[in-house]
Structure 1
Amino acid sequence: MSPTPLRPLARAGVVLAAVLTALVASVVAATGASAHVTVSSADATPGGYGKLTFRVPNESDTASTVSLRISIPEDEAMASLQAQEVPGWTITTTSAQLDEPLDAHGQEITSYVSVVEFRADAGGGIAPGRFQEFALSGGPFPDAETLSFPAVQTYSDGTESAWIEPTVEGQEEPENPAPTLTLASGAGATDAATDTAAATDTAAATDEHGHGGPVSNEPAGLALFLAILALVVGLAGVVLGYRAGRRTVSS
């Protein structure tokens, strides 16, 4: 006796389950991808001076982020670079010699700040479910469209997240992308400054002490919950369709 084909309800359940499984996977991937270390600026333009803001979310559920080490490649060297103080963190800088000196207002610059490290004081750091912003100010910025700053995030349990992979235009984002900044110019810089300032004000409002607020994953979390719920319903349809087919055959 040949096997009984699936009834329409069962077939629909199978299709629904496959679609929703893919949806859950995409939501999970999107949620993870949003937790990278990123860099932004409201006023950075080629040849100008400005502020760089690095946003560092804590991806660990059990350990705190205790260090952020930012590298400045030589081809993105700036004659002047300073770090903004962050309560509860110690800042150290490393300098490197330049193969080709920089000219800053008629002065020859032969070395530059190549590494900036923010390290949490004992017992501190970025706790799970929190984020922190670190700022650098400097210039002049190179005459380029984008700048990339490889960064290494260290946790209290000794593990590290190395955000060092270059992002290539036209290709998929790498798993561990280096923080990359697109330099603004002209009127676009003013618009970017307004948008970034508004975003910064919103983030600062989450914590009056300036240590950053909880990372909000509510939209992604809700989408994931609904996708899982729909998947359960779809699988239930498969089971019901199969049982209905069995009863029909038996009768």
Structure 2
Amino acid sequence: MNTSFRRTLKSLTAAAATAGIIAAGATAASAHVSVDPDDTAANGYSHLTFNVPNESPTAKTTKLEVTLPTDTPFTSVSVKPVEGWTAQVVTGDLPKPVTVAGATVTKAPVSVVWTADEAHQLGQNQYQSFSLSVGRLPAEGTKVTLKAAQSYTDGSVVKWDEVSAEGQPEPKHPAPSFVTTADDGAAAAGASAAPGAEAVSETKQVSTDATSVWGLVLGAAGFVLGAAALGLVLAGRRPRTAGK
């Protein structure tokens, strides 16, 4: 093997190693615990799906704990069963009373904990999805942050609790989150005020006016016919003049 070939081989090996490190870093950066809501409309209900990858090359994921918001609490939380995992919805006192849908709330679900049995712990290159049905969602434009803690068989706990700041690089362990959008009811109200709604209203008014005119005409005709019929009846009842 000549010197030139050996140098080329070393260069290719180094490049491959660098590419592997970059790829591994990109994979680690993208393998976050994340949340995917199926609906973000304010004042509504949503199915939240948490995707949980196992990031440890040696340990298995045994537990996931998600902390629910207490400043804009969910008054309804239910869990979709996952085979081999037990789920517990923890209810607690809120830091201060909160008004939700016109009612004062002092207690609400504050966290959900999923725990795996030994046969269903997440190993290397595995992930699991966990789903919640929650409501009601807070006002439009609210960032709902759902901090999570992922426990491993080696005793380590990875906390996904760093809040992303706008315009800043994503933190190493970002907290799952989403932002609420416009209330579906508000959207419907906005649609009724859209161009064309006024024209529909005017058409209905014209139709109503025409119906009213025809009603008056028919009513008057009925009155005339009724009066004529009454006159004929009365005329028939008059006594006949003698000799006629």
Amino acid at match of 2:138: P
Structure 2 matches for 1:24-39, cutoff 5 A?
26-39=22-35
Question: Separation in 2 of the partners of 1:27 and 1:69?
Answer: 29
Aligned to 1:163: 160
- 2:143 corresponds, among 120, 137, 146, to 146
User: Quick one: structure 1 residues 119 and 21, their matched pair in 2 at CA, closer, same or farther if it must change by over 3 Å?
Assistant: closer
Post-superposition offset of 1:104: 4.6
Question: Separation in 2 of the partners of 1:71 and 1:98?
Answer: 13
Higher mean C-alpha deviation, range 85-94 or range 163-172: 85-94
Amino acid at match of 1:177: P
User: Quick one: structure 1 residues 120 and 19, their matched pair in 2 at CA, closer, same or farther if it must change by over 3 Å?
Assistant: closer
Post-superposition offset of 1:178: 0.7
- 1:44 corresponds, among 40, 46, 52, to 40
Q: Show structure 1 runs of 4+ deviating over 2 A.
A: 16-29, 98-109, 182-187
Aligned to 2:208: none
Q: Is the 8 A contact 2:72 2:98 kept in 1?
A: no
Question: Separation in 2 of the partners of 1:129 and 1:137?
Answer: 27
- 1:88 corresponds, among 84, 87, 100, to 84
Question: Separation in 2 of the partners of 1:37 and 1:72?
Answer: 15
Higher relative contact order, chain-length normalized (CA < 8 Å, sep 6+): 1
Question: Separation in 2 of the partners of 1:93 and 1:131?
Answer: 22
Structure 1: gaps (5+ residues): 1-9, 188-251
Structure 2 matches for 1:99-138, cutoff 5 A?
99-138=95-134
Aligned to 1:240: none
Aligned to 1:67: 63
Amino acid at match of 1:169: E
The share of aligned pairs that are identical, in percent, is: 34
User: Quick one: structure 1 residues 157 and 18, their matched pair in 2 at CA, closer, same or farther if it must change by over 3 Å?
Assistant: closer
Deviations 1:114-152 (A, max 9, x none): 111000123322222111000111111112342111100
User: Quick one: structure 1 residues 130 and 22, their matched pair in 2 at CA, closer, same or farther if it must change by over 3 Å?
Assistant: closer
Aligned to 2:176: 179
Please say which structure displays the higher CA radius of gyration: 2
Structure 2: gaps (5+ residues): 1-6, 185-244
Question: Separation in 1 of the partners of 2:65 and 2:103?
Answer: 29
Post-superposition offset of 1:99: 3.9
Deviations 1:42-73 (A, max 9, x none): 21222211111100011112222110000013
Q: How many residues align?
A: 175
Deviations 1:9-55 (A, max 9, x none): x9xxx9x9999987665433222111110001121222211111100
Q: Is the 8 A contact 1:44 1:50 kept in 2?
A: yes
Task: Give the root-mean-square deviation of aligned CA atoms.
Answer: 2.8
What TM-score comes out, normalization by structure 1 length?
A: 0.61
User: Quick one: structure 1 residues 59 and 99, their matched pair in 2 at CA, closer, same or farther if it must change by over 3 Å?
Assistant: closer
Question: Separation in 2 of the partners of 1:36 and 1:116?
Answer: 18
Amino acid at match of 1:101: P
- 2:93 corresponds, among 88, 93, 97, to 97
Aligned to 2:53: 57
For 1:32, what is the secondary structure of its paired residue?
helix
Question: Separation in 2 of the partners of 1:52 and 1:68?
Answer: 14
Amino acid at match of 2:111: V
Post-superposition offset of 1:172: 0.4
